Amino acid sequence: MTGIVCSILLLCIPIFLKIMFGEILFFQSDTGKMVGVIHIGAVLFIASYPAHRYNKYLNSETTSAMLEKNQIPAFNRIAIDRLSWIWIPGVLLMVVGIIMLIQHLWEVII
């Protein structure tokens, strides 16, 4: 639940920036697009990694996890199973965005 709340707050950052400063040309530049890729990856990672950890806990062999898994409704269990892998593309997007940003800044400096 915390990851979903944090990801919603992360999604609101560009909206608040646009409201406060009007048109933001930064997001239309090359660097801004790379920061946007990192931002999307961070939102995906933060939203889904807690579900991955919780799914890992539910699939463990401890007695409390098995009892808790039996008490979860089927729809919620399916949603947790489906959400638990989205953190991988999020990490990949963050890594690709950081590499692109470093490469762009390196070209600007040299």
The CA distances from residue 23 to 12, 26, 27, in Å, are 16, 9, 9
Residue 1 pLDDT? 58
Contact call for residues 10 and 39 (beta carbons, < 8 A): yes
- Kindly state the percentage of the chain with pLDDT values over 70: 86
- Kindly state the percentage of the chain with pLDDT values over 90: 1
What's 27's DSSP letter?
Answer: G
Supply the mean pLDDT for the chain: 78
Span 41-95, pLDDT tens digits:
888 888 887 777 777 787 777 777 777 777 778 777 777 777 778 888 888 988 9
Packing angle of the helix pair 74-83, 30-58 (nearest 10 deg): 130
Encoded tokens for 32? 């801004």
